[in-house]
Every structure is written in C-alpha cells, then in structure tokens.
Structure 1
Amino acid sequence: MNFDLTDDQRKRYDEVFDGVRESLGAPSGPGAGAGGFTRDRWKEAARLGLVGLCIPGEYGGGGLGALDTALSLEAFGRGCPDTGLVFAVSAHLLACAVPIRDFAGEQVRADLLGGLASGELIAANAMTEDEAGSDVGTLATVAVRDGDDYVLDGEKSFASNAPVADVLVTYATTDPKAGYLGLTAFAGRTGRPGVTVGEPFDKMGLHGCQAGRVTFTGYRIPSSHLLGAEGTGAAVFQHSMGWERACLFAGYLGLMDRQLDACVEHARQRRQFGRHLGGFQAVSHRIAAMKQRLEAARLLLYRACWLLDQQRDHTLAVALAKVAASEAAVANSLDAVQIFGGSGFRTETGIEQHLRDSIPSTIFSGTSEVQRELVARELGL
C-alpha cells in the first residue's frame, strides 16, 4: 500500500496551484470569493486546463483519470479564493462533460467535447425539479418521441451554470410507468426555441457559480443527442454522480488546506491575555481537530477516486468520501470563524465566506442523508 503521489502528480498539483494563485487571486484576502461569475475568470481557468481535465486528449482535454482530476481540483480549490468558480468548473466537467464523454454518440462528442475542453462552451446539468430533488425517479419533465426528435416539456428548478450555459445535460421521463427505468438523458444546446433560462438565483454562497431555472416548452432535441439509450437516464446520472461525488469535493479539500493555513497563522500572531492564541489548548486542540477531519476526508476521497479509476465497485467508498469531505468543510469553517472571533464574522477577512460556500456541500450531489442511506444499503441493511 503506497500513500505517496507520483512525481508527475506532485508536479501537476504544484503547477495548477501556482498557476491558479497567480492568475485567479491570492489564497486569502478581504472579501475573497465574494464576487460573481465572470467570463474572463472562466477563460483563465480554461487557459490553465481546468475545464477539460478528464476530457480525452483527442478533443483537447487533459485525458486524466478520477484521482488525477481530483488532485488538480484540490490544487484549484487551495489556490483560488473563489470557491464558486471551482464549483462551477467542477459541475461543468463532472456532471456534464463526463456523461457526454462516456455516453454520447461520436457526432455529439465531436460537436461538444472540444468546446467544453477549451472553455468556449459552458455546460449546465439540469436534473433537479421542485418535486424531484433527492428523489430523481419522479421527474415531471417529459420527453415524447416525434420522428427523429424528442420534444421536452417541463421545468428544472436548480441548474448550476444555467444562466451562462451553452450546453445542457438534462433528464426527462420517457416512460412514466417505468419509474427510474423510464428516465432518459439528453445533451442539447441553449439559445434554441423552446428552452428558457431564468435569472440567476440569489444564494448564500458559491457566488462564482450562477444557478437558475430552466424551462422546456416544446424543446426539440434530435434523437442522436441521447446520452445512452432511451430509458437508461438513471444509470447515466448515477455514473456522472460517481465522478462528481468523488472528484468535486477535492476542491473543498483545497479550501480546507487554505483555511487551516490561515487559522494557524492567526493563532501564531494574535495575542490575548498576554499569550498567543495558539498557546491556549482550547484553540490548539480546535485546530488539531480541523487537521484530523481534513486528512480523514482526503484519504477517503483519494481511495474513492482510485477505485473509480480501477473500475472497481466504488459506491460505498464514494458515499463515505462525499459525507466526510462535505461535513468536514462545514465543521472546519465553523471552527475557523470561532478561531478568528469577531474578525471571522466580518466579510473583509474572507473567513465567513468559507462557511457560506461550505454549507451547500452537504446538500448538492446527494444530501448527507442520502449518502448515509447508500452506505447502509451497501452494508446490507
């Protein structure tokens, strides 16, 4: 059992971290990460190769596996104070490019993957509906076959990247009587008749990733744009979620690394009652607990990605990693605010932004409750 990264992995991590820190902002600072999405910052992430990490090289991507993709996203999250941008890139890549890569026909792959890898195209995953969040087997959006096309009608309630997206990966019911076996996945373009994207939501955090509603009204998608076969949408979605749950949360590992560095530095410099904060056990033990959560999450996440790369059963490992990383991010962010005290509550330090960016991590990509249910099922309960 070898816990070392290879020389190539270390080099890639360092190159991504240095490039991100130089071009997308210092790791900390006043109001870090509080801004919104900009095309210029997206293009910069694309220049660094981040929007195409696991897209095959023949389409201009990095051709990386799950673990190497996660390591690059971890370096991205550590070097970039805009966790919303890290999330936006990860959603584009893992929830959209991955199912197109693995399930689209060659014509669609050729049409879309090059633009997704270069950053010319931005992708959004439109799955969630008002009455179908965790319960994705009850989609109200329907797709009806009409000749060589499918006609979609319905509304998606929360699609990350949608307000700026050029490509939509979406899911609809093609056989209402078949339950989750009646779902079908599609890849379509925005800016065509029948698709309307709403205004960006006002959100607690992740401001660098715009999200909004998507409404389909007689939206026609050629049958050639199916991802997989009709009725296999649930399998396509679970495949993409395996990649997302395993790799996306590496960005939060990076955030926690950056956060921990800030807390250690603050505890060394800040003095109260004639002593440095780090000299108080209440503070030093809190920081030790932050490190413990981070490293435990890191090991679980790396193992989940390794299993994914080995094409071995990864359901249990991915669920454990997702819970560990997301809940560690929230707990560590709460601790960071406490360690910084009043200054941690103020937006200018960027510390409270960590918490607001971390809170949704236990909700998206399957809630903590859903992940624990998956764990229980894998254990035979």
Structure 2
Amino acid sequence: MDFDPSPVQRARCAEIGAAVSERFADHVTSADPESARLAWKDAADIGLTGLCLPEEYGGAGLGALDTALALEAFGRSCPDMGLVFGVAAHLLSCAVPVREFGTEAALGLLSGMAAGELIAGNAMTEDEAGSDISRIRTTATRRGGGYVLDGEKSFVSNAPIADVYVTYAVTDASAGFLGVSAFAVPRELSGVEVGPPLQKAGLQGCLAARVRFDGCEVPAEFMLGEEGSGAAIFQHSMAWERGCLFAGYLGLMERQLEECVNRVKQRRQFGRRIADFQAVSHRIARMRQRLEGARLLLYRACWLLEQGRTDVRAIALSKTAVSEAAVANSLDAMQLFGSAGYLADHGIEQQLRDCLPTTIFSGTTEIQLELIARESGL
C-alpha cells in the first residue's frame, strides 16, 4: 500500500488549487443564470468540467482517483460549494454515462461538456422516486425513429442553466428494473419545460429546478446503452458520483479545519487562548480524525473503481463517512466560532448549510447503510 500521492498528482492538485484561488478570489455566489454560467466558464478554463473525459473530446482522461484528488483541490480552494457540487454532478452523473454508453450522436455532446460549453443536469429524481429507480413514472414511448418522453423530474441539479439532461424513463412497465432506459436529452428539443429555480437551504451556487417532458420527441440515437439498461447505467453513474463527488467535501473540511485552528489560536477567554482548553483542543482533534478517516475510505473506493472493481460496500462506506463527517465537523466549527459562526462574516453557517444535504443526495445515509449491510452478508 502506498498512501503518498505521486509527484504528478501533487503538482496537478497544486496547479488546480492555485488556479481556483486566483479565478474565484472575488467570486460571489449568484442565483442569476448568466452569472452562474460565467463561473462555469472559469471552472472549465481550469479543466474541471472534463477531468475524467477522454482526451479526444478535450478532457483530461483522468481515472477515478485522480478525478477525486482534483475535485478535492477544487473544494478546498473554492468558496462556492454549490459550484463545486454542480460541476461534479455534471461530470460524474451525466458526462460519465454518456462517455460509457453513448452512441456516436450522444458522444458528439462530450466535447461541449468537457469544455463547459454544454452544461448537463441529472434528471432522475421524481416526487415518488429517488433511490428507488423502479418507482419512476416518466415514460418513453417508442414512435417512429425515436421515443416520446412524458413525465416530470422533481429535482434536477444545474437545470436552469443546463443544455442537456441525462434522464431515465420507463420503456416497458411490465419489465421492472429491465424496463427503464436512459437518454441524453438536448434542452433545445420541443417538449422540454424547465421550472423556476428551487429555493434551497444551501448549495446556492448550484441552481436546481423541476424539469417536465411533455410529448418530448427524442431521436433514438440519444438513448444511452440498450433499451432496458437504464437501471444498470444509473448504478454505474452513481458509483462514480458517490465515489468521486464527495472528494469536494474533503476539500471543504480541510479548509474549514484550518480556519477553526486559526480561530481558536487567536481567540482569547479568561486570559488565555481558547485552544489551550482541552474541550476545544479535543473538538479540533475529533474534526481531524473524521476528516482523515473519511479521506482514506474515499481514496480506497476511488482506487478500486479505477481498477475496474466497483465495490458497492467500499463506495457506500466512503459516502457515509464523508457526508456524516462533513455535517459533524460543520456543527463543531459553528461551536468553535460561537456567535461569530452564526453570522455570515466567516462563512461557517454557509458551510453547515452546504454540508447538510450530503446525507440525502446520491442516496441517503439510510440507503448506504442498507447497502453496507447487504454486502456484509445480511
């Protein structure tokens, strides 16, 4: 086992961190679609929108672990976790399945996706279907040389600014999991209706909305994989998302911990630094323990994925550890900053709100625990 990043990995992460710090030094999170696209352009110029896409399409051709390391550097240096999340979702839950299962027509979208010129949204979640893909109600009816999509997705990340939606629909209601198919749907097609941006507690830099398909005619060449393979494609994309996306939160936790250490060394009460109180120093120690433990689990999950070994248990362990550590550390950071942490001045309250949904999206913590239990022989 080698726990030391290679010189190439270190150099790449340092370069990304420096570029992100420079580009986003004065960045202000905005819900305005035009401003949001400008932020995406900056991320694309650094190469973040094409990390694991093939070089022939303008990507960097990185594996899962190197992609995770790059996203960790992004999360550490970027103050807008919503943007980090949005870019990672575009890359992992949308571009990856297009890369793996797209026809020639769908693959034609990859160059634009790698360059950040085409932003992608993952349109899977419905009001009655989240982790349970068998409950989706959106249908895709074969007609002529394509499919007609009808249905509504309740939460689509990047939807207000997206140019293409990777979505899932039922093509054969009698076939269960084998009756779901996947599509890459260009927004320009007739019948694609995008609702207003959803109001969220956090991740404000990632605009989200409902998306409705109303008699949307999608050419057959935009189907991903074979008809009926949607569930398998979704699970493949989730392996990459659960494995790599959460590296951005490792970066956030690293930055947060550094801010907390500086705070407790400077803040004085009762004539001494609060860092000298054991209750404070032990809280810092536990924050470090959670971060380092979660990091090891994530690196292992991504390394296995990179070796072609999609280990469901390793990915679920990683996702659970990172998400729970992110929430717990943010609560600790709030306590260490006290009333100052509750104000917007230091960004601690924003970090907490950005971390809260980690135990929900990409499969809830409860779903991950079920996967771990099942893969443990229960």
TM bucket normalised to smaller: over 0.9
The correspondence for 2:358, drawn from 340, 343, 361, is: 361
Q: In structure 2, what is the Cα distance between the partners aligned to 1:204 and 1:129?
A: 19
The one-letter code sitting in structure 1 at the alignment partner of 2:70 is S
Is 2:88 the counterpart of 1:90? Answer: yes
Q: In structure 1, what is the Cα distance between the partners aligned to 2:301 and 2:311?
A: 6
How far is the alpha carbon of 1:349 from its aligned partner?
A: 1.3
The correspondence for 2:204, drawn from 193, 204, 207, is: 207
Q: In structure 1, what is the Cα distance between the partners aligned to 2:129 and 2:114?
A: 30
Is 2:10 the counterpart of 1:13? Answer: no
Is 2:129 the counterpart of 1:132? Answer: yes
1:14-69 superposed Cα distances (whole Å, 9 cap, x missing partner) = 0001110111127xxxxx87543611111000000000000100000010000000
Q: In structure 2, what is the Cα distance between the partners aligned to 1:106 and 1:34?
A: 36
1:256, 1:332 within 8 Å by CA — same for their partners in 2? yes
1:111-167 superposed Cα distances (whole Å, 9 cap, x missing partner) = 200000001110000000001012221111000000111000000000000111001
1:317-358 superposed Cα distances (whole Å, 9 cap, x missing partner) = 000000000110000000000000000001121011010000
The correspondence for 2:56, drawn from 49, 54, 58, is: 58
Matches within 5 A, 1:1-381: 1-25=1-25, 35-36=30-31, 38-109=36-107, 111-381=108-378
1:34, 1:353 within 8 Å by CA — same for their partners in 2? no
The one-letter code sitting in structure 2 at the alignment partner of 1:176 is A
Q: In structure 2, what is the Cα distance between the partners aligned to 1:35 and 1:272?
A: 37
Query: SS of 1:347's equivalent?
Result: coil
Gaps of 5+ in 1: 27-31
The one-letter code sitting in structure 2 at the alignment partner of 1:43 is K
The one-letter code sitting in structure 2 at the alignment partner of 1:19 is A
How far is the alpha carbon of 1:107 from its aligned partner?
A: 2.7
Gaps of 5+ in 2: none
Assess, with a 3 A threshold, how the Cα gap between structure 1 residues 4 and 371 changes in structure 2: closer, same or farther.
same
Assess, with a 3 A threshold, how the Cα gap between structure 1 residues 372 and 113 changes in structure 2: closer, same or farther.
same
* Correspondence for 1:29: none
TM-score normalized with structure 2 length: 0.98
Identity rate, percent: 63
1:166-221 superposed Cα distances (whole Å, 9 cap, x missing partner) = 01100000111111111000001002211100000010000000000000110011
Q: In structure 2, what is the Cα distance between the partners aligned to 1:292 and 1:107?
A: 47
Alignment RMSD: 1.0
Give the length in aligned residue pairs. 375
1:238-276 superposed Cα distances (whole Å, 9 cap, x missing partner) = 000000000000000000000000000001000011110
Aligned structure 1 segments of 4 or more residues deviating by more than 4 angstroms:
none
TM-score normalized with structure 1 length: 0.97
The one-letter code sitting in structure 2 at the alignment partner of 1:131 is E
